[in-house]
Structure 1
């Protein structure tokens, strides 16, 4: 199984940090970046072959590739998203489709969370070929990627949902087992061909509507944050240093 990090985003709400860096390379603990935390977590669960999807300011990741490999004891394969500044991330994840068949633990390159999230996904029983890490504890608002369930399986995943109806928030970490490879690639392609501005989570919804089963794994009470703006970055800098 591979590690996989989606790190192609521009993060315009984090300027001036992202004037010359992708969001994943914004520091959150000294010189430790969001990408460092993702790679550290993956290495801690022995996923040392890691695919990183790059796009916006990709050269910055290329320039740090050797140092990141040495720092975390990983081997990085960089996959380039040629439409990172034009299209949303359904296409971005599809760019890494050739690696799905090996199985992957996917993490978003803008999420700061402890390694307990990766362990929760890897330790969960094999009840579906795609398993989503979900926070069912925190209070939700409009911006979160919310989920509802039907008999324990994913029914709906979208930001466009009344928070009161949601089971919880998808936190940007997914276990993709090899059996999902072809179906996921096809669903992602159908999603971005329908609308290039859709999210990869809309690809998960496409799978559900095709009759596929996707399960969720609650992560419990965990300090984590999706870093979209400067307030999120301040929170990330508060909690990142507490991770062991």
Structure 2
């Protein structure tokens, strides 16, 4: 099993940082310290801590910044990092971005969004949940109060994920998908096909819409609650401030 990070996004709501950096390289350490840790640092550190030795990073917007840092990140975290180019990162949404990493999926991956600050307990929880025929396991926050922007999930205790979308009444949801998934290698082909169908239908769709496509085809996607842990998806400057508070705890 390897790590896989979606780090192709522009993150325009985080300007001026993202004038020159992809969102995954925005500093989440002390404000003003441009050499501080980034979301990518934190995620790579988590992967290393759970014993992964190889990581694929899907890059697009300002990818040269990731290329420049690759050797230093490999040395720092003891990982072999392969960069995977997304040629449509500034045009299409991340269903296509994850499809670009379809070859990596065959090894089995822990997938992490490049804008999610979260503790290593999330990876440990997903790894502990493996087995019993589970092929895709989503990390689910069942504690947080939900609003319109969150990626909400409805789960059937026996059938797994039934719906995954932002476009849902929060009161209907079982919880929020936090942007971290364990994907077994034997799910790779079916997931890649679902992602292709998704972005061919509409290139602005999310990879979570690809998960919904899988569910609609009869594929069982499981979830694993992560407990009461601090995490944040960094979309804007308010999220970044929260991310800095959380990052210093880990």
Cα deviation, residue 23, structure 1: 0.2
- Once residues 129 and 123 of structure 1 are traced to their aligned partners in structure 2, the CA distance between those partners, rounded to angstroms, is 13
**Where does residue 218 of structure 1 map in the other structure?**
225
TM-aligned CA deviation for residue 78 of structure 1: 0.1
Cα displacement (A) at 1:3:
0.5
Residue of structure 2 aligned with 1:141, choices 139, 142, 147: 147
Secondary structure, aligned partner of 1:171: strand
Residues 164-193 of structure 1 show CA distances to partners (whole Å, capped at 9, x for unaligned) of 000000000000001101000000000000
2:185 is matched with which residue: 178, 182, 193? 178
Q: TM-score, normalised by structure 1?
A: 0.98
SS in 1 for 2:144: coil
Distance 1:91 1:8 in 2: 11
SS in 2 for 1:242: coil
SS in 2 for 1:107: strand
SS at match of 1:102: coil
Calculate the TM-score normalised by the size of structure 2.
Answer: 0.96
Q: 1:74 aligns to what?
A: 79
Structure 2, unpaired ranges of 5+: 31-35
**Could you tell me how far apart the structure 2 residues matched to 1:39 and 1:178 are?**
20
Count residues with an aligned counterpart. 243
1:19-98 alignment runs, 5 A limit: 19-30=19-30, 31-98=36-103
How many angstroms apart in 2 are the aligned matches of 1:162 and 1:9? Answer: 27
Partner of 2:11: 11
**2:159 matched to 1:129?**
no
Of 205, 223, 235, the match for 2:242: 235
Q: Partners of 1:19 and 1:168 in 2: how far apart?
A: 33
CA distance in 2, matches of 1:48, 1:23: 24
Q: Output one character per residue of 1:58-80: Cα deviation in whole Å (capped at 9) or x when no partner.
A: 00000000011111111100000
Deviation at 1:125, TM superposition (A): 3.7
Cα deviation for residue 160 of structure 1 reads 0.1
SS in 1 for 2:106: helix
| Aligned with residue 162 of structure 1, among 169, 179, 182 | 169
Gaps of 5+ in 1: none
SS in 2 for 1:137: coil
